[in-house]
Amino acid sequence: MLRTLMMATARAALLSLAIPLSPVWGQNSTIITSTSLGPSGPSGGAGAVSEMNSRSGLLIDHLSARKLETWKSIEELVFAEDKEKQPLHPTLRSMWEWIETSGHKVYVEFMDPKRSSTSTAGVFSIDKVDPRGESHSSVIRLNLFNIDHAAMPEIAGEKGGFIPFSQLNGEERYAEVLGHEMAHAIYILSNPERTSKIFDNVETTNQILLLSNVDRSRGQRPSDMDMRKRITKRDEILLQLEAVAESMEKQVWKELVKSKAIRRKMAGDAIRSAFDGKR
């Protein structure tokens, strides 16, 4: 999902599944790319499994100690509960728990804003497709700088009251983007046939596009008709992916906004309780 910042022009990304922060919140383009990842270490999230090859879920091996503090804040928000121990953000929590128990590897990374597009807030990409469909390897990347500095339209427009990031700050915004990316992960990874179809159609088309640019520089020219067909099919898939992810993101946003007053009151009560206990 590419979410284009308000000051930037919405444009299609060829090498990432990104969330656009666009002036028109429907101009999204999602692309899957194969990404090479380095060796992995111990897992975070729901807990490590001793053998590296059997580890799965949300894996935070690539986060530095400082970034882990931010991730912990996001995790606490995802699993926040009210006084009756009921989840405040059931959609986020259920998506997180699905990934944790799915058997798939979903690495989490925070992008360096200096090395990423100014239009990217979050990315989901597939690294490896397991032929058995049991343990695909993928990565979710969040661009915290872009998320923090994303502007918002003054009116909801066609979103029916949904303005991404509206009334949210800090970890709340990060959680909203994470929800969008987790929605991509679940929709794509939950069905082996869908995983292969999306990976083959989108990734193969992207690779052909890249190679065709090289061929043109050498004076060769691929069939324009064939490329148009491939791009049309790819874009149809991407629109479907974005529709699913935006629907889940909207629900995540609603829950985050609704819980703000509850979380504020609980934090105030905790402070007063701690103060009274020191008297």
Q: What is the pLDDT along the chain (279 residues), one digit of tens a residue?
A: 434 332 222 222 222 344 444 322 222 333 343 222 232 333 344 333 333 446 899 999 999 999 999 999 999 999 999 999 999 999 999 999 999 999 999 999 999 877 777 678 999 988 888 999 999 999 999 999 999 998 776 555 455 578 889 999 999 999 999 999 999 999 999 999 999 888 888 877 888 887 876 555 555 555 677 788 888 988 999 999 999 999 999 999 999 999 999 999 998 888 887 777 666
Buried b (16+ CB within 10 A) or exposed e, 138-160: bbbbbbbbbbeebebeeeeeebe
Q: What is the DSSP letter of 55?
A: -
Give bridge partners of residue 18 from the DSSP assignment: 123
Q: What is the C-alpha to C-alpha distance for residues 152 and 209, in angstroms, rounded to an integer?
A: 33
Read off the amino acid at residue 172: E
Q: Which two tokens stand for residue 35?
A: 């990404």
pLDDT reported for residue 46: 39
pLDDT reported for residue 153: 61
Domain residue extents for the chain: 1-24+69-148+164-266
pLDDT reported for residue 29: 31
Helices (H), the chain: 65-78, 90-100, 144-148, 171-189, 192-198, 204-217, 224-277
In this structure, the chain runs to a length of: 279
Q: What is the C-alpha to C-alpha distance for residues 68 and 66, in angstroms, rounded to an integer?
A: 5
Q: 176-233 pLDDT, tens per residue?
A: 999 999 999 999 999 999 998 888 888 778 888 878 765 555 555 556 777 888 889 8
